[in-house]
Structure 1
Amino acid sequence: MGATQRIAIVGAGLGGVAAAASLQQAGFEVDLYEQAPQFSRLGAGIHMGPNVLKIFRRQGIEKQVEAMGSHPDFWLSRDQDGEYMSRIPLGDFARKEYGAAYITVHRGDLHALQMTAVKPGSVHFNKHLASLDESGSDVLLKFADGTQARADIVIGADGINSRVREHLLGAEAPTYSGWVGHRALIPAHKLAKYDFNFEDCVKWWSGDRHLMVYYTTAKRDEYYFVSGVPQAEWEGGHASFVDCSREAMFDAFKGYHPSVQALIENAESITKWPLLNRQPLPVWSKGRMVLLGDACHPMKPHMAQGAAMAIEDGAMLARCLMETGLNDYATGFRLYEANRKERASRVQAVSNANTWLRTQEDPSWVFGYELFDHPLKSENAA
């Protein structure tokens, strides 16, 4: 592997940054190009299961992630009246059975910590990808600000509206799934006046909708909810989200337990997001370009594993390119797809079906997964 060989990652979200950390740790030269003008505490809550904490362990940030997050002892599922449908053990059980902790955390806090695992100077902000031009020997990336960069391979970690995916497969808008998600953060002190037990990680379910609720900090001072609710049409046009009134949220969860009503009452501001889908892609790579995460296999957030799959993708891609070197990137890409497609597709299907942990089940196929322990499947296995 020559010192001048470079990898460009388009998109410095959770998946892109994790891929950069894994690849740099493997000895590759990596540059990340992010269209946002600067880093900010974007998003809200996120789950990180043992399958991801084990990757963070290799990147040297596991303990810091554990220190910043909330550690639920259970994933609880309750019906709208409050009756328990499942109690999935996490906490100490997860450490013992799956080899690492299960935490819930603020996405922005996690992202900021992940940035410390990549080499200083390797993230370039305000780089909106305008075009890609693949020659015989490398790829020329042109950005909207007039700058250019060259790389031996390009990794598209740029989400469901990926420009890299568009270059590979042509322009095609994602489809609206017929579902929206409501999101809100609640200062936990606002809930102290209630007699309810606001549990660390609970998903409220009824026939056609749900509300997932959990803490996002170790101090448990910030409580978060995210919904899944059917809605025939998305009213926001091309907007990635719209504001939502408390009244509309109360209407969506009419008849739910009083503790759910208390959450809505105390939400500081509620936003509503369209849940978007893509058909499974015919290819994950072409030429010198390869996709990961939502650019490759977007999924509804109902399983809390979307970011986890992107982080696993990055680690597996690094493992496969270590095996082949950049000179044989084509074999590396085939190996990567052969070793990720089945798992990512299964998680995508379960997530989209919204059945995960609704009833008492064994989640070990997800949480117990040890990415580096599995022998690599042949590149022809995909």
Structure 2
Amino acid sequence: MSPQKIAIIGAGLGGAAAGALLQRAGFSVDVFEQADAFSRLGAGIHMGPNVMKIFRRLGIEDAVARLGSQPDFWLSRDGASGDYFSRIPLGDFARREYGAAYVTIHRGDLHELQIAALQPGTLHFDKRLTEIEDDGAGVDLTFADGTRHRADIVVGADGINSRIREALLGPEKPNYSGWVAHRALIPGATLEAAGIAVEPCVKWWTDDRHMMAYYTTSTRNEYYFVTGVPHPAWEFDGNSVPASREEMHEAFAGYHPVVQGLIASADEISKWPLLNRNPLPLWSRGRMVLLGDACHPMKPHMAQGAAMAIEDGAMLARCLAETGLSDFATGFQLYEANRRERASRVQAVSNANTWLRTQEDPAWVFGYDIYEHALGSDAAA
């Protein structure tokens, strides 16, 4: 009998984590990525203690912490006056109370570490999925380059426009949220030369828009901002379009001088639509299962979207290790039962854009340890 195989479609942060964790659980796993290579694209990301504890299992926790910035606080400030709404302790407090560091890091640096955790030769680039057929005994995958692969189960980690989700539920465009995000990376030397005093991790708020800003490296030589701004319609082609300082100054008119200085210091600004979906009726069918943005996309306002995908990967690996691939159906059911409530709660809070605006306790998110979560068929988060 040939060894049982798992195919993961998508090698983003969730797919890479799932692949490495399933491999460590003893499964034969191949990861298929439609891009022909990965590059260090200009985006930052937060990795909370809940995810860093998963990275500990992958052996990359220390490397992530060394590369990224470890802010002592998440600060929330009034966008106009600069008054502080909240000062959420991180730093040593997070390490002590939540069991791991809170890190802000460049997405490309993090991704490189995750990819290196995969077994050599198991990541396949330039594999755009064109056909999927679950014949009951296995799943046949056909790619645009003409190659084929057969697997016992397939994990859809291929994002909000997932082909695996489409195979399960039919074609349906994601919903445009009515918001866009502006993104820019600014050299730390530029800010220093301009005399702009920035904080390591701060969110500037007014009633209908915000800017989140933070360092992406331990050396603090890069500072990143991402916004959430109402925009009536997404009338552009592609995932993003260039934006201008003028557009951003208009969007943030009346905001604090630090925000104005950040906008003025940004050489390249991109604008992205924020998309989401209504909760899906199912996360799996037959031999196919979804994780991350393929099944519960959310606005990025809580900085937990990628974290939920990585948690999904860890829980899926736990559940399949419990049941084995010979009983994958029970493994899928166990996975969804132990993930749906938590992922849905985070999705709702993130979409509402209220996270840490006030002096609240984030322990239900940051203190969570997926490996201490007792598995149950009707488990809650």
Displacement of 1:380 after TM fit? 8.4
Q: 1:42 to 1:195 in 2, by over 3 A?
A: closer
1:50-61 equivalence runs, <5 A: 50-61=49-60
- Note the 1:289-304 alignment, pairs <5 A: 289-304=288-303
Residue 209 (structure 1) aligns with: 209
Report the residue type matching 1:252 in the other structure: A
Question: For residue 245 of structure 1, what is the aligned residue in structure 2?
Answer: 244
| Normalised TM-score (structure 1) | 0.98
Q: Distance in 2 between matches of 1:74 and 1:345?
A: 26
Alignment-derived partner of residue 75 in structure 1? 74
Residues 197-237 of structure 1: CA distance to partner in whole angstroms, max 9, x if unpaired?
30000000001000000001111000000000001111213
Match of 2:234 in 1: 234
1:141-152 map, 5 Å: 141-152=141-152
Q: Could you tell me the percent identity over the aligned residues?
A: 70
Contact 1:331 1:379 in 2 (8 A): no
Inter-partner Cα distance in structure 2 for 1:39 and 1:259: 33
1:221 aligns with 2:226: no
Instruction: For 1:92 and 1:60, locate their aligned partners in 2 and report how far apart those are by CA, in whole Å.
Output: 21
Any residues of structure 2 matched to 1:252-271 within 5 Å, and which? 252-271=251-270
CA distance in 2, matches of 1:30, 1:123: 9
Deviation string, structure 1 residues 235-275 (Cα, Å, up to 9, x no partner): 213x1001001100000000011111110001020000000
Q: Would you say the 8 A contact 1:187–1:221 is kept in 2?
A: yes
Equivalent residues of 1:44, 1:224 under 8 A apart: yes
Partner of 1:133: 133
Residue of structure 2 in register with 1:330 after alignment? 329
Tell me the CA shift for residue 43 of structure 1: 4.5
3-state secondary structure, aligned to 1:273: strand
Match of 2:33? Answer: 34
Counterpart of 2:151, as a letter, is: A
CA distance in 2, matches of 1:165, 1:66: 34
Contact 1:72 1:201 in 2 (8 A): yes
Could you say which residue in structure 2 is the equivalent of 1:177? 177
Q: Please give the secondary structure, in 1, of the residue aligned with 2:326.
A: helix
Alpha-carbon distance in 2 for matches of 1:41, 1:86: 32
Q: What per-residue deviation string (whole Å, max 9, x for no partner) do you get for residues 65-96 of structure 1?
A: 11100010000000012100000000000000
CA distance in 2, matches of 1:167, 1:270: 35
* AA matched with 2:150: R
Q: Tell me if the contact between 1:181 and 1:273 (Cα under 8 Å) persists in the aligned partners.
A: yes
Counterpart in 2 of 1:66?
Answer: 65
Query: For the residues of structure 2 that align with 1:315 and 1:215, how far apart are their CA atoms?
Result: 27
Indicate if the aligned counterparts of 1:334 and 1:379 stay in contact, CA closer than 8 A: no
Indicate whether 1:367 and 2:363 are aligned: no
- SS, match of residue 193 in structure 1: helix
The amino acid of 1:83's aligned partner reads D
Residue 186 of structure 1 contacts residue 267 of structure 1 at CA under 8 Å; is this kept in 2?
Answer: yes
- In structure 1, runs of 5+ residues without a counterpart are none
Alpha-carbon shift at residue 192 of structure 1 (Å) = 1.1
Once the two structures are TM-superposed, the CA of residue 175 in structure 1 deviates from its matched residue by: 1.1
For 1:170 and 1:56, the matched residues in 2 are separated by 34
> Partners of 2:140 and 2:193 in 1: how far apart?
59
Letter in 2 for 1:372: Y
Contact 2:341-2:380 within 8 A present in 1 as well? no
Structure 2 counterpart of 1:313? 312
SS of corresponding position for 1:179: strand
* 2:200 corresponds to 1:192: no
Report Cα offsets for 1:270-327 as digits up to 9, x if no partner: 0000000111000000000000000010000000000000000000000000110001
- The match for 1:91 is 91
Tell me if 1:378 matches 2:353. no
Give CA-to-partner distance per residue, 1:145-165, whole Å, 9 cap, x none. 110000000000000000000
Give, as a single letter, the amino acid of the residue that structure 1 aligns with 2:240.
F
8 Å CA contact 2:338, 2:379 repeated in 1:
no
Partner residue of 2:282? 283
Distance 2:40 2:127 in 1: 19
Unaligned runs of 5+ in 2: none
Residue 158 in 1 paired to residue 158 in 2?
yes
Say whether the 8 Å CA contact 1:334–1:380 is kept in structure 2: no
Kindly tell me the number of residue pairs found equivalent between the two proteins. 380
Map Cα deviations across residues 88-116 of structure 1 (whole Å, 9 max, x no partner).
00000000000000000000010001111
| CA–CA separation in structure 1 for the residues paired with 2:380 and 2:209 | 37
Structure 1 residue 6 corresponds to structure 2 residue 5: yes
Q: Distance in 2 between matches of 1:92 and 1:168?
A: 44
Q: Which amino acid aligns with 1:100?
A: A
Counterpart contact for 2:34–2:127, Cα < 8 Å:
yes
CA distance in 2, matches of 1:380, 1:360: 29
Q: Partners in 2 of 1:166 and 1:355 — Cα distance?
A: 31
Distance 1:61 1:196 in 2: 33
Measure the CA separation in 2 of the matches of 1:168 and 1:28. 24
Amino acid of the residue matched to residue 347 of structure 1? V
Report SS of the residue matched to 2:204: strand
User: Which amino acid is the alignment partner of residue 171 of structure 1?
Assistant: P
Q: Equivalents in 1 of 2:70, 2:379: separation in Å?
A: 40
Shift of 1:11: 0.2
The list of structure 1 runs, each at least 4 consecutive aligned residues, that deviate by more than 3 angstroms after superposition, is 193-196, 379-382
